[in-house]
Amino acid sequence: MDLNDKNQLPQKNRTFGDSFRYAFEGIKTTFQEERNMRVHVCAGTFALLLGFFLSLSLIEWLFIALSVFMVIVMEILNTVIENLVDLVTTEFHPLAKKVKDMAAAAVLSTTTFAVIVGAIIFLPKFYHLFF
């Protein structure tokens, strides 16, 4: 590909609406192709529904929403990194494995944070609900 040939270069989004359309296409693709994304979305939806049931305060809502969306964003970034690594190498390479492992670690760390936030917020509410 000749980088000086303007017809060969990727084009920017033509409209503001295109930006949203492509972004939603990315979310849809990640959801369809990544089992873990579906698990995270289901868990996040459950946490948000539980929040309605337990009448969270504004600060609690902020932490739950932040946690849910951070996990989803990290799963998307993990998928991006995995796809890029697969694009540039077809053979096993120790650095490719490192990159993929570190991207997965970022998702795991964020998910752990979300579980801790959920426990801090939801466990006392369950305790008061049942005891």
Which residues are annotated as catalytic?
Answer: 75
In DSSP notation, the chain reads --TT-TTTSPPPPSSHHHHHHHHHHHHHHHHHH-HHHHHHHHHHHHHHHHHHHTT--HHHHHHHHHHHHHHHHHHHHHHHHHHHHHHH-SS--HHHHHHHHHHHHHHHHHHHHHHHHHHHHHHHHHHHHH-
